[in-house]
């Protein structure tokens, strides 16, 4: 991944938008009292305020009294929320407001406003019985950057592709001696010279690849993946060479044969790699979970799974990569013992929430009052930096992802160092009784 900190933050923003879209799409209201308002960057707050004023006048003529009041209420709350902004934020503004009907049939006012994590190129105002989220889907589209190295016997081209934008970073030509049968006694010398020039050519390409695709500030790759292409076996030689930076080696998504070098080869390589680039998130997910499964199959002790063990390892700062299913349905409760005033933290699934014994102290049956309730995923998104790990959300769409969710409860981690959770459990059962309550 590019700069891993920034990449993790972006993945978290994408997960939050997905979650928001899901919640907004399921919301329904009576009549047309739900406002969806999207303002692109450089739009004017004054223009929208005036438009809402005009809408207020029009809505005053709605015949049905209940519908009229709820529409006017929604427009008023949109106007109030807009007063908090002097100007439209750099990435635009998204505002949803209105009265929704909850699952138990009660009406509830909601207002959600936020600046997207990247510019939104849509302008929208709709009053309906549902929220319109179609424009938010463009925020989920990938703008990952991919590197291309097109290498043949005549030279090398370095390029990048991001979305639909291709860019040539650098190209150079090379004059390599061809194979021939002449030379008599010097034939071996000619062959050696030819091999030497090939070797130097591969080395130069490898050095330039590091220059173009490694960010010097972070020492991490600045592309999400690399495609090596060419018409001869140079591309394979490069990918297997010791001179090729190992940080880039792990980013190679595909090695493709193209009929040309240079620009034409670049275009052909993009076409041939289209399917892989479209599924790059899928591939990254398979690799990540594959690495996790490798740790387990080799029994390295550098893995952890399940909520309790993962949280213990997090507290110790042992987790390097925290892997969580993006739809993990577990809530984090901070509970207070009504008798002793002691705080307890519990992680409960939807089924466990219905079991009242989880809200009573086991021995004394004292009531545990809910002080705070938050989705565990959201808690991870807010707190993961505190534990010095990276956070990766995975789906259950790949075979590996599905196995991770079913077999490991959708939560686990790759550790920095070996940790035997069994001895840890024995300690927490004996000497450190009640360890769970500390975090």
pLDDT of res. 436: 43
What strands, in cross-sheet order, belong to the sheet with 343-349?
Answer: 343-349, 330-337, 368-375
Reported as a single tens digit per residue, the pLDDT across 392-408 is: 888 887 788 888 988 88
What pLDDT does residue 227 have? 93
pLDDT digits (tens, 9 = 90+) for 7-23: 677 778 888 888 888 88
Q: Output DSSP code: residue 426.
A: H
Domain extents in the chain: 27-139, 145-176+184-278, 294-332+373-438
Pick the CATH number of 294-332+373-438 from 3.40.50.300, 3.30.1330.30, 3.90.226.10, 3.40.1160.10: 3.30.1330.30
pLDDT at 184: 64
The four Cα atoms 159, 160, 161, 165 give a dihedral, to 10 degrees, of: -80
Predicted pLDDT at 429? 46
| Domain range 27-139, its CATH number among 3.40.50.720, 1.20.1630.10, 1.20.810.10, 3.30.960.10 | 3.30.960.10
Confidence of residue 427 (pLDDT cuts 50, 70, 90): very low
Q: What does the pLDDT read at residue 411?
A: 93
Residues 6+ apart with CB under 8 A from 397: 282
**Residue 434: predicted pLDDT:** 39
170 by Cβ neighbours in 10 Å (0-12 / 13-18 / 19+) ranks as: exposed
Domains 145-176+184-278 and 294-332+373-438 agree in fold: no
| Percent with pLDDT over 70 in the chain | 91
Q: How confident is the model at residue 145 (pLDDT cuts 50, 70, 90)?
A: confident
User: Tell me: the pLDDT tens digits for 239-276?
Assistant: 888 999 999 998 898 899 998 888 899 989 988 888 88
Confidence of residue 432 (pLDDT cuts 50, 70, 90): very low
Give pLDDT, residue 412. Answer: 93
CA distances from residue 35 to 31, 49, 67, 101, 250 in whole angstroms, order as listed = 11, 14, 13, 14, 47
pLDDT at 175 > cutoff 90? no
């Amino acid at each position: 991944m590019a700069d891993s900190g920034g990449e993790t933050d972006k993945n978290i923003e994408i997960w939050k938008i997905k979650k928001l879209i899901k919640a907004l799409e399921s919301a329904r209201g009576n009549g047309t009292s739900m406002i969806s308002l999207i303002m692109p960057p450089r739009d004017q707050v004054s223009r929208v305020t005036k438009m809402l004023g005009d809408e207020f006048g029009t809505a005053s003529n709605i015949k049905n009294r209940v519908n009229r009041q709820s529409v006017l209420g929604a427009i008023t709350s949109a106007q109030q929320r807009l007063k908090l902004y002097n100007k439209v934020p750099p990435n635009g503004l998204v505002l949803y407001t209105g009265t929704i009907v909850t699952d138990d049939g009660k009406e509830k006012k909601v207002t959600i406003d936020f600046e997207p994590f990247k510019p939104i190129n849509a302008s929208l105002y709709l009053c309906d019985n549902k929220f319109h989220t179609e424009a938010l889907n463009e925020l989920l589209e990938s703008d990952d950057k991919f590197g291309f190295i097109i290498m043949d016997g005549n030279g090398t081209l370095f390029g990048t592709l991001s979305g639909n934008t291709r860019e040539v970073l650098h190209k150079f030509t090379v004059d390599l001696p061809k194979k021939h049968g002449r030379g008599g006694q010097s034939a071996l010398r000619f062959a050696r010279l030819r091999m030497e020039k090939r070797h130097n050519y591969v080395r130069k390409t490898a050095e330039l690849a590091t220059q173009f695709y490694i960010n010097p500030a972070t020492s991490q790759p600045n592309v999400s993946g690399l495609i090596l292409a060419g018409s001869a076996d140079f591309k394979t030689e490069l990918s297997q060479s010791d001179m090729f930076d190992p940080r880039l080696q792990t980013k190679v998504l595909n090695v493709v044969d193209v009929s040309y070098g240079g620009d034409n080869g670049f275009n052909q390589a993009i076409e041939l790699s289209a399917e892989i680039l479209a599924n790059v998130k899928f591939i990254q997910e398979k690799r990540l979970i594959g690495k996790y499964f490798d740790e387990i199959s080799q029994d390295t002790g550098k893995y952890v799974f399940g909520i309790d063990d993962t949280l213990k390892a997090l507290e110790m700062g042992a987790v390097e990569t925290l892997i969580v299913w993006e739809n993990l349905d577990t809530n984090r409760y901070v509970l207070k013992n009504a008798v002793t005033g002691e705080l307890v933290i519990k992680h409960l699934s939807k089924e466990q929430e219905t079991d009242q014994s989880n809200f009573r102290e086991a021995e004394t049956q004292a009531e545990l009052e809910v002080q705070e309730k938050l989705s565990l995923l959201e808690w991870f998104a807010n707190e993961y930096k505190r534990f010095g790990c990276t956070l990766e959300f995975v789906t259950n769409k790949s075979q590996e992802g599905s196995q991770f969710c079913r077999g490991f409860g959708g939560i686990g981690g790759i550790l920095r160092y070996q940790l035997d959770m069994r001895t840890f459990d024995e300690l927490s059962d004996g000497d450190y009784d009640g360890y769970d309550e500390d975090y």
